[in-house]
Structure 1
Amino acid sequence: MMKKIYVDGYFLSQKITGVQRYAKQFIENMIDNGYEVTLIAPSNATLDIPGAKKIQSRFKGMFWQQCILPFILLAHGFPPLLSLTGIGPVFYPNKMLAIHDASIYRFPKFFSKTYLLFYRIVYPVSIFFSKALITVSNFSMTELRHFIKMKKKIYVIYNVTSDLVSTDGDKISLLDGVGRYILTVGSLDERKNLKRIVKAFNNSSIKEGYKLIVAGGNSSAFSDIKLECENKNVIFTGYVTDGQLISLYKNASFFVYLSIYEGFGIPPLEALTCDCPVLLADIDVFREVYGDEFKYVNPSDISKISHEMEKFSRLDREKIKQQQQPVISKFSKQNQIVQIYTALSGAFGEKNITVQ
Structure 2
Amino acid sequence: MKIAIDCRMYSQSGIGTYLREILPYILKEKYEFLLIGDMYKIGHLEYENIEILHCKIPIFSVKEAIGFPVKKINECDKFYTPNYNIPWGIKIPIFSTIHDVVFLDMPEIINSYIGFKIRKLFLKRAVKISEVIFTVSNFSKSRIEKYFGIEKKKNVTGNGISNHIIEHKHQIYDKNYNEDYIIFVGNFKKNKGLKILLDAFEIAKKNGYNKKLIIVGSLENFRTKDDVILNYIKKFSRGDVIFTGYVNDEKLREMISNAFALVQPSLYEGFGIPPLEALFLGTEAIVSDIEVFKEVYSDLPVRYFKTEDSKNLAEVLIKLKRESRDLYEMREFILRKFSYEKIAQIIINDLGKH
Superposition deviation, residue 95 in structure 1? 1.3
The residue that corresponds to 1:139 in the other structure is 139
Do residues 191 (structure 1) and 204 (structure 2) align? no
Aligned equivalents of 1:199 and 1:323: distance in 2? 35
Instruction: Give the superposition deviation at 1:275.
Output: 2.4
The one-letter code matched in structure 2 to 1:117 is K
Are 1:18 and 2:14 an aligned pair? yes
Matching of residues 1-356 of structure 1 within 5 Å: 4-12=2-10, 14-15=11-12, 17-32=13-28, 36-42=32-38, 45=41, 48-51=44-47, 53-57=50-54, 59-61=56-58, 62=61, 65-66=64-65, 67-74=67-74, 77-93=75-91, 94-113=93-112, 114-149=114-149, 151-164=151-164, 179-205=179-205, 208-217=209-218, 222=224, 224=226, 226-228=229-231, 229=233, 230-231=236-237, 232-292=239-299, 293-312=301-320, 314-316=321-323, 318-319=324-325, 325=331, 326-333=333-340, 335-346=342-353, 349=354
Q: Give 1:50 deviation, angstroms.
A: 4.7
Between the aligned partners of 1:283 and 1:97, the Cα distance in structure 2 is: 25
Separation in structure 2 between the aligned mates of residue 296 and residue 193 of structure 1, nearest angstrom: 14
User: 1:130-149: per-residue Cα shift (whole Å, max 9, x none)?
Assistant: 22211111110011000113
Q: Check conservation: 1:272, 1:328, Cα contact below 8 A.
A: no
1:177-199 superposed Cα distances (whole Å, 9 cap, x missing partner):
97111111002211111111122
| TM-score w.r.t. length of structure 1 | 0.82
- Residues 121 and 334 (structure 1), Cα distance of their counterparts in 2 relative to 1, 3 Å cut: closer
State the SS of the aligned residue for 2:266.
coil
Distance 1:294 1:342 in 2: 33
- Shift in Å, 1:155: 1.3
Asked whether the 8 Å contact 2:4–2:78 carries over to 1, the reply is yes
What's the CA shift for 1:255? Answer: 1.0
Unaligned regions of 5+ residues in structure 1, if any?
A: 168-174, 350-356
Q: Deviations over 1:219-268 (max 9, x none)?
A: 67647453331332111124332222112111111111121111111212
CA separation of 1:70/1:223 partners in 2, compared to 1, >3 Å: closer, same or farther?
farther
8 Å CA contact retained: 1:7, 1:37 = yes
Q: What is the number of equivalent residue pairs in this alignment?
A: 332
Contact 2:215 2:244 in 1 (8 A): yes
Distance 1:125 1:304 in 2: 41
- The C-alpha deviation readout for 1:282-336, integer Å capped at 9, x for no partner, is 0111111111432211130010010011122x243x3385796434421134533
Q: CA RMSD in A?
A: 3.1
CA contact (8 A) 1:281 1:298 kept: yes
1:212 offset after TM fit, Å? 0.8
Contact residue 186 and residue 217 of structure 1 kept, 8 A: no
Distance verdict in 2 for CA 1:27–1:216, change over 3 Å: same
Whether the aligned pair in 1 keeps the contact of 2:209 and 2:318 (CA below 8 Å) is no
Pair 255,165 (structure 1): closer, same or farther in 2 beyond 3 Å: closer
Identity of matched residues, %: 25
Aligned partner letter, 1:261: Y
- State the distance in 1 between where 2:243 and 2:43 align: 26
Q: How far apart are the structure 1 equivalents of 2:193 and 2:18? A: 22
What SS class does the counterpart of residue 68 from structure 2 fall into? helix
Determine if contact 1:178/1:211 at 8 Å carries over to the other structure.
no
Instruction: Call closer, same or farther: CA 1:37–1:25 in 2, change over 3 Å.
Output: farther
Structure 2 residues without counterparts, runs of 5 or longer: 168-174
Once residues 332 and 71 of structure 1 are traced to their aligned partners in structure 2, the CA distance between those partners, rounded to angstroms, is 34
